[in-house]
Each structure stands twice: as C-alpha cells, then as structure tokens.
C-alpha cells in the first residue's frame, strides 16, 4: 500500500469519528499481491455499528472510476475499506457477506478495516486486510480475527470471531514514492508542532473511558460465570462421592475447574484487556512526563536568563 493511500484512508476514517465510513481502493494486482496506489471516499450512510453502500454510492463509484479512465489513470478498483471506530480490525457478518459478493462478481478484491480511534491512541495505524474463503471451503483451524489479542467492546463480543472461519488475514506492507515523500515532508513541516504538543491522555479519554467500562462489564460477566462453574463443580464432586460413577463425576468436576482457569476463559480475556489498557496508559503517561520535563526545563532556563538580564539592567 502506498503512503498516500494509507494517509488518505486514515484521514477519512478519522473524520468519521464514531460513525463508520467507507471507500474504495485503486491499484493493481501482481501475482498474488494487491498493490493499492490510491483511494476514494464513498458517500454512504453509516452508523456507529455498520455502514452500507446504497444505489447512490454505487453510481458514484462507477462514475468516479470512469472519470479516472478518461483522464488516463490506469488503476482499477481492487477493493474496499471501512472503519471500525474503537473496536479493532476484524470482519463482522455483514462485512463477510459484502466481501463474498465482491469476490464473486468483482475479483480480484480485498477488504481493509481501519480503527481510527486506536490509531490515535497508539500512534500507529491499526489496520487489517482480509479476503473470504470460497463458499463451501473447509477453513483451517487458524482464525484471522483471533490470531492476536484484540480488546473488543462488550457490545461486539458476540459478533467478534463468529465468522472468523469464513475469512483470512493478509500481510500489509507499505511503500513510498518520491511524490509521497514530498507530500509527507510538507505535512510534517506544517503540523509537527501539533504532533509534539498533543496529549494522548486528553485525546483518548473517551476511548479509554469506554474501554474501562467494557472491562467492568466483562469482569462482572466473568464473575457470574465463575460462581456458576464453582457451583456445578461442587455438585459434581458431591455426587461423585456417593455415586457408582465417581470417576466420571470427578472428571467432570476437574474439567469445570480447568475451564475457569484456561486462557480462553472470560476472566482471562478481561484480564488481558485490562493489561492492554494499562500498558497504553503507561506509555501515554511516560510521553507526557518526558514532554513536561523537556519543556519545563527549557522554560526554566529562559526564565533564569530573563531574571539575569533584569538584574544587570
């Protein structure tokens, strides 16, 4: 993916805020690699949970692609992108169905998901590229959306991973042309002060508050699950001591206990979410402390010089 396409796509998703936005990818394919050179936005109606392209958006896409061809641009539409503001890069059921249709009628086609809120929180673009398996294909046990831990809001947990056996993730790499380098340098010259003075603690306060609230809900749900599992284990253990099926009862009790402590348990997942949030907040606090120490030191030196000049006068 070109730096220009990444920059434009990230900026579009960031402008959408908490509302999902959508656009198309332009480029080409070489062997089994998608080369994304540019993007264009689509006029779609989005919500905080989904985005759908209507007839107006499809008409705009066809007209835009035709205009590009008329002015001599050789890039084709090779995929689509949309945002997941605050809940990670993975494919929902609607996303999977959309991508299946695109691959059926518009191959080659790739889907890209960007999380603009986490991009701002971490300082690096949170992005994922996906394609769906052919219909009827028996997917391997590796799941695209669960290959690495992601902090998923409580409202999205049920949908997360449900369709993971229908799609797979692609590796994403970037390249930068001479024109891209000039554009990025010009932007840096204009906005470096804003970048240096921005505070992740202030910019990400709503995202962090939502993550803490989700963790609280997950811990409450995990606590209920632990109580139920303990109750079931106690009943099975008691029954095993008075039953001819003692070995079976003990085995079931052991299984229930081990399920509570497994890495895939709700309690373990909530713990990983809490650790991830704590690590990000620690990084933000560290950056804030470094900036404060640096600029306060400069301010102290300037103040001392001013006092010295006044005394001489």
107-160 pLDDT per residue, tens: 899 999 999 988 887 778 899 999 999 887 877 765 544 445 566 766 666 677
Residue 256 has a pLDDT of 47
Per-residue pLDDT tens digits for 297-309 = 766 666 666 666 6
Q: Residue 56 belongs to what domain range?
A: 3-198
Q: Pick from 198, 226, 248: which residue ends a domain?
A: 198
Residue 27 makes CB contacts below 8 A (sequence gap 6+) with 5, 34, 35, 36, 37, 38, 75, 76, 78
Strand partners for 204 = none
Do residues 174 and 47 share a domain?
A: yes
Phi and psi based region of residue 158 (left: phi greater than 0; alpha: psi -120 to 50; beta: remaining): alpha
Residue 146 has a pLDDT of 45
- The rounded distance, in Å, linking the Cα atoms of 121 and 32 is 33
Residue 232 has a pLDDT of 65
Residue 288 has a pLDDT of 79
Residue 168's H or E segment, with its range, is strand 167-170
- Burial per residue of 34-69, b for 16 or more beta-carbon CB atoms within 10 angstroms, e otherwise: bbbbbbbbbebebeebebebeeebeebbeebbeebe
Q: How many domains does the chain have?
A: 2
- The rounded distance, in Å, linking the Cα atoms of 12 and 80 is 13
Do residues 66 and 113 share a domain?
A: yes
Do residues 132 and 259 share a domain?
A: no
Do residues 141 and 215 share a domain?
A: no
Bridging pattern class, strands 127-132 and 45-46:
unpaired
Do residues 10 and 154 share a domain?
A: yes
Residue 238 has a pLDDT of 63
Q: Pick from 182, 198, 214: which residue ends a domain?
A: 198
Residue 147 has a pLDDT of 46
Do residues 232 and 282 share a domain?
A: yes
CATH no. for residue 158?
3.40.140.10
Q: Where are the beta strands (DSSP E) in 74-155?
A: 76-83, 110-114, 127-132
Do residues 180 and 218 share a domain?
A: no
Do residues 181 and 249 share a domain?
A: no
Do residues 109 and 181 share a domain?
A: yes
Burial (CB count <10 Å: 0-12, 13-18, 19+), residue 156: middle
Do residues 184 and 217 share a domain?
A: no
Burial (CB count <10 Å: 0-12, 13-18, 19+), residue 266: middle
Do residues 155 and 231 share a domain?
A: no
Residue 186 has a pLDDT of 85
Residue 5 has a pLDDT of 92
Residue 142 has a pLDDT of 56
Q: Pick from 198, 217, 252: which residue ends a domain?
A: 198
Confirm if 25 and 78 have CB atoms less than 8 A apart. yes
Residue 37 makes CB contacts below 8 A (sequence gap 6+) with 2, 4, 5, 26, 27, 28, 75
Per-residue pLDDT tens digits for 195-205 = 777 777 777 77
Torsion angle (degrees, nearest 10) of CA 30, 135, 161, 93:
100
Do residues 193 and 55 share a domain?
A: yes
Residue ranges of the chain with per-residue pLDDT less than 50: 144-147, 244-246, 248-250, 252-253, 256, 259-260
């Amino acid at each position: 993916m070109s730096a220009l396409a990444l920059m434009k796509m990230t900026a579009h998703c960031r402008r959408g805020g908490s509302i999902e936005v959508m656009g198309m990818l332009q480029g080409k394919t070489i062997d089994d690699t998608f080369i994304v050179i540019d993007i264009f936005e689509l006029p779609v109606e989005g919500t905080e949970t989904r985005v759908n392209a209507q007839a107006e958006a499809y008409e705009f896409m066809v007209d835009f692609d035709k205009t590009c061809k008329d002015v001599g641009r050789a890039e084709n539409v090779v995929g689509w992108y949309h945002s997941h503001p605050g809940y990670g890069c993975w494919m929902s059921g609607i996303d999977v169905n959309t991508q299946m249709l695109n691959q059926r009628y518009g191959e080659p086609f790739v889907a890209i998901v960007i999380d603009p809120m986490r991009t701002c929180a971490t300082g690096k673009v949170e992005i994922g590229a996906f394609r769906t398996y052919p219909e009827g294909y028996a997917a391997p046990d590796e799941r695209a959306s669960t290959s690495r831990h992601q902090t998923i809001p409580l409202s999205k947990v049920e949908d997360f991973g449900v369709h993971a056996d229908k799609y797979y993730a692609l590796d994403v790499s970037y390249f930068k042309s001479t024109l891209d380098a000039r554009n990025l340098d010009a932007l840096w010259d204009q906005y470096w002060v804003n970048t240096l003075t921005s505070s992740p603690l202030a910019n990400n306060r709503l995202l962090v508050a939502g993550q803490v609230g989700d963790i609280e809900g997950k811990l409450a749900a995990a606590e209920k699950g632990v109580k139920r599992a303990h109750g079931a284990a106690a009943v099975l253990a008691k029954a095993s001591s008075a039953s001819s099926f003692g070995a079976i009862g003990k085995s079931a009790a052991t299984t229930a206990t081990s399920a509570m402590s497994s890495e895939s348990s709700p309690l373990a997942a909530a713990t990983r979410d809490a650790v991830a949030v704590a690590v990000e907040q620690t990084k933000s606090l560290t950056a804030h402390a470094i900036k404060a120490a640096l600029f306060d030191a400069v301010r102290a030196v300037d103040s001392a010089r001013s006092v010295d000049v006044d005394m001489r006068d």
